[in-house]
Structure 1
């Protein structure tokens, strides 16, 4: 999650870009920027680093399990190959 201090800092930097003639509106603009930034970030589907790391571990374990299962299926298929030979054509 983005820290409040980072949002405040970005809002102040955006307000600092306001032309000098609008100094009296700077505080209002800072509050507006802060509010807009918070609303925009709230709408994003963000996760914390911890949540990301947990999901990464789950994905790695899942990938390892899939590879293990693929090897098991391959071994089973190989063990069945002699039994899968087609029956010889019937003799009449």
Structure 2
């Protein structure tokens, strides 16, 4: 499960969907207050043997003089922690 936690995305796991364990966080201070995180996997170049994870985050940076909108990072996810391979990118 992912939770928006102000300037970070918290990653949690559960074996019974009742008791949750914190596993890691993805901290960003360059997109404002984090909202509505989502994590999904996509094929690279339509090749199902080559996949990457995408972490999409809504960023509300208005109070910080930053933009407001949807940003994303491409990287790897090992089931507990996300590792970005790209800098922040914004949807236009």
Normalized against structure 2, the TM-score is what? 0.20
Per residue, is there more strand in 1 or in 2? 2
Q: Which one has the bigger helix percentage?
A: 1
Between Structure 1 and Structure 2, whose CA radius of gyration is higher? Answer: 1
Which is bigger in relative contact order (C-alpha 8 A, separation at least 6)? 1
- TM-score of the two chains, using structure 1 as the length reference: 0.20
